[in-house]
Structures are given as structure tokens and as C-alpha cells.
Amino acid sequence: MIKFITRFVFTIFAVLLSASTVLAQNSNLYVIDSFGDHTMPGWYSGGDLTMKYSHKEDNLENGYGVISSQNKSITPNSFAGLIRKEEKLQVAENNILSVMLQGINNDMTATIQVLFDKNNDGKYDENTDVRLESKPLSMNFSGWKEVHFNITPSEFKVISKTKDDDFSILEQEALGIQFSFQTGKEFSAGPIETGVAMISERYSKELKQETAQTDMNNGESYFTARNYPNPFNPETKITYTLKNSTSVKITVYDRLGREVVVLVDENQSEGEHAVSFNAANLPSGVYFYRIKTPEMVEVQKMVFTK
């Protein structure tokens, strides 16, 4: 299992952010939910927690989701409940996931979970599917905070009950996002009420460089990387150029982000290099190869056809 540690940054806001559009113009910002719709489409709750809208009508200016145990007393060291937004979203490595959360001044934590439907049955099942999970985030504060999570293999952990524990984030379609709440040993027993607002996803600079390369051999590669032939059967040759002597790792993944093989993992000199990938024992389909150096990470797509 890949070991992940989450890094998070807090920014305190006195008022909630407002959003009037799903895609912020010229910002590479995708708003997953601005909580402007009082019906809160796609949201579900579980455990001892329920979720309702903060206003009787739509409110783009300061609407949010109220999460509460409805006067039910919650005990220390217990699972309080969860909320889930079931809406497909595109998740890619190095994206920044931002969430507005309301503190409760008590010993409770929240974990942010991105859900993936690995077996493509249209629903999330923890016994067969995969999720990315953040480090527990303390809710022991007052007011609202915006929390930023950098989605990388070094900052999230993979949760999977199957043997496919080499899941990797490249550019995947997630089934939804989930918040799980757990009380700690110092939690003062009693009802819970907190809130969530403005969930968004932003491309990082590195991601812009990486996702610009997802088209097959588009000629704009930082490494002038290409594989030939493409499509291929069963072998293709990957060529790439290093601008200086550096450590380089080239890994092949399937379309679900599972590692297939590491082709290169060593220090290499400046100049052009090549490595072959043989898919004779693999099923036909789309594969990705990722070239990673300390200076750059880049992903290219290739197609294996039998």
C-alpha cells in the first residue's frame, strides 16, 4: 500500500465566498459545489449526521450545508457520520482541492475522501472500489476555515480492500467526494453541528504542464517524448530527451491508474534516450506512461491494439 501524508494549509475567512459560475473564467478553477441551490442535489448523509440547507431559498451569496446530529448526543471516540456528494468530477495529480469548513470547538476530526468506481458499476463499494483519503483534519476551532489539499501520491493515501493497491493518480474520473467525521477521546459528549461550503478544485502549475501532454504525440512535450508505433502491437519504443543529467523514472499505468511496470528508474545523462514497452501479456486498451524528473512530470497516452 502506498504510504501518503497530507499537507494542509488554513486560511481564516470571516464570511463565506460567493460563486456565480461553475467554471471560474481564466482561473482553471472548477467549483464542485457553491451551495447556491437549496435542494443540494447529489448530497447524501449517513451515520448519526444529517445535512440540510442553511436557507429556505437559493442563496449564492452565503448558502452552505448545515451538518448536525439533530440534538442526538454523540459520544467520544466514535464514528459520528458522513456526508457524500455523488457527482462525477475529473481528478488529476497535483490538483488543489479546497473546502470551506465550520469548526465546532470540540475534539472531532474530518477526513476528505475522493471516491473512485474501479469496477464501473456506477456506485461506490468500499469492498471493491478505491478511495483517496486525507489525513484527519481537526475541527477544534471556531468560525470558518478554507482548507487546501494538494492531490499527489505523497499527500493522500489509497484505501482499498482489493489486491490492486498500486492505484496511482494520473487523470481519473471520480464518482464523488465524501466527508467522514470521527470524535476523539477528549470530545465533550453532546450534539454536533458544523457546516461545509464552497468545494472547488484548481489546477496547479505543474498540472497545467502535465495535462497539456495528454494528447498522443502532440509535439509539445517538455521531454520531446513520443512512442512509435502508436497504436502498437505488442511493442512500442518510447523516446525522450533530457535537458541535463538527472534522475528519471518512467512508469506505465493502465486506464484506471494502476501501475503496470517501471521501465526506467535511474540517473541518466543529458541527451536522447529510448526504452521499449512490450504489452504482449496485457489486454488491449489505453495506457499511460509517466516521465518524472526533479524538474518535471509529464504524462503521455498510448494505445495497444491486438
Q: At 54, which CATH number?
A: 2.60.120.260
Stronger pLDDT, 16 or 231, i.e. the higher one: 231
The answer to whether residues 84 and 121 belong to one domain is: yes
Q: Is the domain of 50 the same as that of 150?
A: yes
- Domain-located, residue 1: no
175-225 tens-digit pLDDT: 999 999 999 999 999 999 999 998 888 765 444 443 333 333 444 688 999
Does residue 3 lie in a domain region? no
Tell me whether residue 46 is in a domain: yes
Spell out the residues 6+ positions from residue 206 whose beta carbon is closer than 8 angstroms to its own: 94, 296, 297
> Residue 34: pLDDT above 60?
yes
111 and 160 share one domain: yes
Split at pLDDT 50, 70, 90, the class of 118 is confident
The last residue of one of the domains, among 153, 186, 208, is: 208
Q: Are residues 35 and 87 in the same domain?
A: yes
Q: Which of 208, 237, 256 is the last residue of a domain?
A: 208
**pLDDT at position 81:** 97
Q: Count of domains in the chain?
A: 2
Domain of residue 273: give its range.
212-304
- Domain annotation covers residue 237: yes
> What's the confidence (pLDDT) of residue 258?
73
Per residue in 265-293, pLDDT (tens digit) is 999 999 999 999 999 999 887 788 989 99
pLDDT at 255: 67
Q: Considering the entire predicted model, what is its pTM? A: 0.62
- Same-domain status, 56 and 153: yes
Judge if 201 and 265 occupy the same domain.
no
The verdict on 26 and 152 lying in the same domain is: yes
Per-residue 3-state assignment (H helix, E strand, C coil) for the chain: CCCCCCCEEEEEECCCCCCCCCEECCCCEEEEECCCCCCCCCEEEEECCEEEECCCCCCCCCCCEEEECCCCCECCCCEEEEEEEEEEEEEECCCEEEEEEECCCCCEEEEEEEEECCCCCCCCCCCCCEEEECCCEECCCCCEEEEEEECCCCCCEEEECCCCCCECCCEEEEEEEEEEEEECCCCCCECCEEEEEEEEEECCHHHHHHHCCCCCCCCCCCCCCEEECCCECCEEEEEEEECCCEEEEEEEEECCCEEEEEEEEEEECCEEEEEEEECCCCCCEEEEEEEECCCCEEEEEEEECC
Residue 141 and residue 71 share a domain? yes
- State the pLDDT at residue 28: 64
**The domain boundary residue, chosen from 141, 175, 208:** 208
- What average pLDDT is seen over the chain? 81
